């Protein structure tokens, strides 16, 4: 169950980063790979558009989460 994010006139970057961190925590806890892939795509897009260092860290975390969940399918 993925929450629908409605577009807003302005993007609250701090809130978005916090929500993406929470979603990645959820994905790791319940091994939810499709949502982790969605989070990775969103963080890569945000990191390419914004030059904030926290987004680059979040993008690396999302990528690591996806790799871990893909590898854990075979264990």
pLDDT digits (tens, 9 = 90+) for 7-35: 656 778 899 999 999 999 999 999 999 99
66 close to 37: Cβ distance less than 8 angstroms: yes
Q: Which residue's structure tokens are 């075979």? A: 74
Q: What are the C-alpha distances in Å from 2 to residues 23, 32, 52, 71?
A: 10, 11, 26, 23
Report the alpha-carbon distance of residue 15 to residue 74 in Å, rounded: 34
pTM of the model: 0.82
Task: Give the CA radius of gyration of the chain.
Answer: 13
pLDDT of residue 75: 76
């Amino acid at each position: 169950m993925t929450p629908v994010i409605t577009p807003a006139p302005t993007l609250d970057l701090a809130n978005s980063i916090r929500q993406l961190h929470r979603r990645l925590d959820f994905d790791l806890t319940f091994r939810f790979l499709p949502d982790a892939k969605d989070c990775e795509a969103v963080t890569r897009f945000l990191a390419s558009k914004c030059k904030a260092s926290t987004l680059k860290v979040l993008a690396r975390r999302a990528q690591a989460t996806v790799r871990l969940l893909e590898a854990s399918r075979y264990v």
